[in-house]
Chain A
Amino acid sequence: MHFLSEFWHSLIGALPWDWAHYGYMRLALLAVFLAAPLFALIGTQVVGLRLVFFSDTLGHAALAGLGIGVVARLAEPWWAMLAWAVAIALLMTWVQRRSRAAADTVLGVFMAFSVALGIMLLSRSGQSNRLVTYLIGDVLGITGHGLAGLAVVLMVAIALAWRWFNALALTGLNASLAGSRGVRVAWVQTGFALLVAVAVTMVIPWIGLLLINAFLVLPAAAARMLARDTRQYLVWAASIALTAGVGGLISSFYWDTPTGATIVLWAAAFYALAFVIHPRRAGSSAVAEATET
């Protein structure tokens, strides 16, 4: 592990550019290399399963987790964020199965509750300064442990995709059809919600919880317009996430801007570009349904 870290630092440190001389930038670059494929893989499914609002809620819910972690005086409040996100994910999938119709209302309630609770707990404990750090993210927050964790989550996500990608994508198309093909729909949905919760919480400290969902969804949304099949979709999403991640990270260094926001702006630029190249395919499902009937 130590050897790998030494190797990475000397490899990137040998690059001739200014930013490569800073240890935190070298860590951040590695973080981008791990997070981009992870978020591309998850983001394409979040879009396909129409869970964009769900993942957004998870991001905002982190605030309550942070508040609880701070009030409980945890050395690492991040763990409370993770626990809270997992709890919300489980609760949400349960509620969604019980009442499909009110799902977005329920999500809105969870988001409001979590944000309010987080703000209240943080200001009560005199830690409002942490609020801003978590809202917009801080690239200095990337640690070796965090990266190791991210690498593990990426490996797990790839292993899960190998076994359950078909089941998950089919569930997004039609749950009954998936069920008739032997997919255990409830388990697949719950497992995916947990993966989203963990992945989002891993990356929040440096992208920021305001924009985490944008980094999850934008590359997939742009890739959707450029790709014509499942394979191209994943390749495009990963390429866009990676390019936006690296471009955003390095330009944030020179522009002295928050990294998360800069990465998301890059991703948004790719979305705009994809829209210009293929405006016809930018239609939402609402548009598609209107033209069908």
Chain B
Amino acid sequence: MITPPGLPLPINFVIVPNDTLVNVEAPHAPCGACLTHVRNLGVQLSGQIVLEDLSFDLRCGEITALVGPNGAGKTTLLRALLGEVPISGSCQFHGGPGHPTRRRLVIGYVPQRLGFDRAAPLTVADLFALTAGRQPAFLGLSDTVRAAADTSLAEVDAAHLLNRRLGDLSGGELQRVLLALSLSPSPDLLLLDEPQQGLDAAGLARFYELVARLRGRFDMAVVLVSHDLAAVARVADRVFFLDRRLLAAGPPAEVLKKIGAH
């Protein structure tokens, strides 16, 4: 896996240094000690309170499902973690002993949709070239980026898709490609927004199972956004029920019961 030079730290985060770190570059199983520590997080957009007083922890090796009605602020929370919107409160990241370098936080992000149409002259290889390296994509893939792309695609059973056009992929294949993209460089925090492009319930379930498998192979915390609690309950370790505030948090069964009581 490569670390693109100059990948900056997400601006809303404070990275808490840890002097006991071992330097491990290769992806490895979760150490269980990397901690994303969020306290009293709030977001206001154009004078409106979108998120208020959120406090939670995310641990590597865990899948947290973020559920809530439309307009609850789920995507805004992802954008806050990505550093796209100004926040109040604090986000800290404590790297555990398996975390590769002292002052690094890589956030992998899988967006809801990509702005391309079926005619777009864009291949999966192009997508890796665009995200991974300094070499402009019109010069093709460098050997290091190609190797990283091959490795990442293999993780999601999509190695054969490297030279396919994005417009020729099925919804499920595109989603796997986007997931592979977010694995290179190996992320500490993986944020998956709810897919909007052509994925049926069965496809979505398969996709979530793939995420669950990766959770055990990479040292990362996973946040999975969904409006459908039942769909994510099977793979999530914990569920956050969000509607501007964090209304419930805990194991899926517990949160289900709590929401049902509302």
Q: Are A229 and B121 within 8 A (Cβ)?
A: yes
CA gap between A227 and B138 in the complex, in Å: 12
* Contacts across chains A and B counted by CB atoms under 8 Å: 109
Does B230 have its Cβ within 8 Å of any Cβ on chain A? no
Contacts known (A166-B130, A182-B7, A231-B138); A174 close to B123, Cβ less than 8 A: no
Q: Are A161 and B6 within 8 A (Cβ)?
A: no
Contacts known (A229-B121, A233-B121, A292-B198); A176 close to B126, Cβ less than 8 A: no
Does A285 have its Cβ within 8 Å of any Cβ on chain B? yes
Q: Is the interface of A mostly helix, strand, loop or mixed?
A: helix
Does B165 have its Cβ within 8 Å of any Cβ on chain A? yes
Does A23 have its Cβ within 8 Å of any Cβ on chain B? no
Does B39 have its Cβ within 8 Å of any Cβ on chain A? no
Residues of A within 8 A of B115 (CB): 50, 172-174, 285
Q: Are A179 and B82 within 8 A (Cβ)?
A: yes
B165 to chain A, nearest CB (A): 6
Residues of A within 8 A of B127 (CB): 173
Q: Are A228 and B165 within 8 A (Cβ)?
A: yes
Q: Are A293 and B121 within 8 A (Cβ)?
A: no
List A267-293 residues whose CB lies under 8 Å from chain B.
Answer: 281-285, 287-289, 291-293
Segment from B106-114, B146-154, B232-240 that makes contact with A: B106-114
Q: Are B113 and A174 within 8 A (Cβ)?
A: yes
Does B89 have its Cβ within 8 Å of any Cβ on chain A? no
Ordered by A's residue number, 26 sampled pairs between the chains whose C-beta atoms are within 8 Å are A161-B138, A166-B130, A166-B133, A169-B130, A173-B116, A174-B115, A176-B78, A177-B111, A180-B109, A181-B7, A182-B6, A223-B121, A224-B119, A224-B121, A229-B123, A230-B122, A230-B129, A230-B137, A231-B138, A281-B118, A281-B119, A282-B119, A287-B117, A287-B118, A292-B198, A293-B198
For the A-B complex with A228-B121, A282-B119 known, give 11 more contacts whose Cβ atoms are closer than 8 Å.
A161-B138, A165-B138, A169-B130, A172-B115, A176-B111, A180-B82, A181-B131, A229-B126, A231-B137, A288-B118, A288-B167
